[in-house]
Structures are given as C-alpha cells and as structure tokens.
Amino acid sequence: MENAALLSAIVKNAIDGIITIDDLGTIESINPAACKLFDYFPEEVVGKNIAMLMPSPHAGKHDQYLKNYKTTGKPSIIGVGRELVGLRKDGYQFPMKLGVSEVQYAGRAIFAGFIHDLTQQKLDEERLKNYASHLEELVEERTKSLNDTIEALQTAKEKVSHTLEKQVELSRLKNRFLAMASHEFRTPLSSIQLSVSLIEKYFESGDGINLSKHLFKIKNSVTSLTAILNDFLYVDNLEAGKVSASNSHFDLVEFAEGIIEEMQLLAKGNQNIIFAHSGIRTKVYLDKNLLRNCVTNLITNAIKYSGDTCCIDLKTQINDQGCTVTVHDDGIGIPLENQEHLFEAFYRANNTGNIPGTGLGLNIVARYVVLMKGTAHFTSSQAQGTLFTLTFPIS
C-alpha cells in the first residue's frame, strides 16, 4: 500500500507527462505534467480516446496502430522512444518525445506513455542552427572580403613590380646610353675640336678652301651628334608610352620620292638611290611621320653600311594583301650570329668596325612599325647585302 502511494506520488510529481491508455486507446489516467502540457483537466480527457491529443494523420490512424499490434504482436512505438507532435486543447501543436511501455496489470494490457516536451530543445536547436548559418554567412562574407583584399594586394603588387621593371629597364637604357654616348660622342667632338683649331690656323693664313672644308666637317659632326640625341629621345618617348600612331591618307609614291631626294644628298660618292612602285593604287592610311622616320632610318643604314659605289633600292607596293616598303643594299650584310638581336636597343653587329652608330635606329623602326600595326623583318648575308621589309595592313 505504501508502495502504491509512493508510486502515485512519483507519477504525480514527475516532470514528464505520463498517460495510460487501455488496449482500445481510451485514456485511463493522466498526470499533472501531462495535463499542463496538453492544457486539459483530467476529467476532460479520462475516458476519451488518446487520438484527441494527436494531430492528424496520427490521430486518425492510432486505433489501427493498436489493432495491428494486437493481431501481429509487432510494436511500432512500444519500447522505442520517438519524436512526435502533440496537440494542445487550443489546437497548438508542439514537439515531444514519446516513450510507450506495455504493462500487464490485472490480466489486461495497459499502455503507459511518457511524454517529454521538446519545445525548448527544438527552439534551442533552431537558434543554434540559425546561429550556425549566420556564422557560415559571416565566414563566407569575411572570406570574400579577404579574397578581395588578397586580389587587390596582388594587383597592387603586380603594378609595383611592373613599375619597378620599367624603372629598371629605363635605368638600364640610360646606362647603355651613357656608355654609347661616351663612345659615340668622342669622334664628332674631337673632330670638331680639331677643325676649330685648324680653322684658327687657316683663318690667319686666309686659306678659304680649307676653312670651308673644316666648317663642313663641323656641320657634319653636329648633325651626327644631333642624330644620336634624337634617337635617344625617340626611344625615351617610346618607353614612356608617349608615342602613338596618328594615321592619315597620303600618296605613298610622292612621299617616297620626297625621301629619295633628301637621302640622295646624304649618299656617299657614287651611291645611287633608286625608287620603284608597283600596284595601281598609291594611297595609304598610315602615320606619315613615323613612316618617314622608319624609311630614312633604313636608307641611312643602307648608305652607312655600303661601299661608295652601289645602288640602294627603295621599293613600295600596294595590293589587296597590304602595303609593303622594302630597302635593299648590297653592302656589308649582317653576320648570321648577330641577326637574332638586331632589333634590340643599342645592339650592333660585330662587323660594323668604326662605322659610327648607336644601335637605336632599328629598335625605333620596329616599334614604330608595331604602332602602325605592321611588321618588320629582314634577310641579310655578307655576300648579298641586306633587304629590310616593312609590311602594313591595308585599311
């Protein structure tokens, strides 16, 4: 008896809800915790079917569950805890964990259900899940901003190293210029110095012929010094990205004839510059100044690197494929081993001897041609001379 009182006190004071039903599903007892959970008074539920505490579809199927168990003896929930949904009197549904045990008492089966409210646990789980996904979002956001920062840093690094590379290249060019200038300036400067002292002498003796000879020499030396400085300025401007092609329509034949006329004056001894054009069209759309610089550079080289008696051919051609300008000479040629680097700044072949030069002209030509979207190449042999070809697309 004492045991029964103890048991009843335990059931009454249990934190979890405890409900007993008979084998037809009729509620026989309900403890205060279960009443609180479902918001019923005991008299409202005792004697009624347990289905009233379940939402559909379980409510409609509960009787069948019990019947199945009775006929097959196979439990679906008995002995196993399961998470289900409870239905409160006001229709509110709440999550709960239900454990059912079968008790044989006084010759009949009684089912006791132990109900643990999962509302708080589910809320906590939900909060945790939300917090986790918020954290994930935060991590994703931070990762993205970190990646953006890394990318920006990378771009800045590339920019800095590009600038640095440019600086290094520029200072390398300037160093090479100094080396070249100290070498190439010496000849015209000492020639000027010598001519000046001779002029003094010829002036005293009134030797007009020698006077004008040395004045001419000074003029030539100044021209070649100016040419060296100009070449360096052109390269410097190209390096600084200050040069761009500014195309216009002009007559290539008129243009070439003008150049021939000027260049013939600079040719040595019996050097003959001959021009020929092929193709019906004569108009081109190129940068006149850049092209003039290219052609005069090539002809100057042909003059410089050929003997006193020779022919230098300037040929132009315009057809459907494009416009071609070639300069051919039968001078000293370019040794095979020097040909690979010929368009590099300050590069000179090893057969130039004491022919003056800076090694800048061809570098300027190649870069100007690229600015006009053309290509420059050459073939050369020490036996047959040199042929430079500039090709431009027709537009």
* Site residues, ligand ADP (CB under 6 A): 297, 301-302, 305, 329, 331-334, 342, 348-349, 352, 357-363, 386
Smallest distance from ligand ADP to CB 343, Å: 8
Smallest distance from ligand ADP to CB 178, Å: 16
SS3 label, residue 387: strand
- Rounded to 10 degrees, what is the CA torsion of 169, 170, 173, 177? -170
Smallest distance from ligand ADP to CB 338, Å: 7
Going from the C-alpha of 273 to that of each of 60, 94, 299, the distances in angstroms are 112, 105, 9
Which CB, 195 or 224, lies closer to ligand ADP? 224
Radius of gyration of the chain measured on its C-alpha atoms: 51
Which CB, 117 or 329, lies closer to ligand ADP? 329
C-alpha torsion sign, points 75, 78, 81, 83: positive
Burial class (CB in 10 A: 0-12, 13-18, 19+), 258: exposed
Smallest distance from ligand ADP to CB 254, Å: 25
Smallest distance from ligand ADP to CB 339, Å: 9
> Within the chain, what is the greatest distance between any pair of CA atoms?
158
Smallest distance from ligand ADP to CB 274, Å: 15
Which CB, 44 or 313, lies closer to ligand ADP? 313
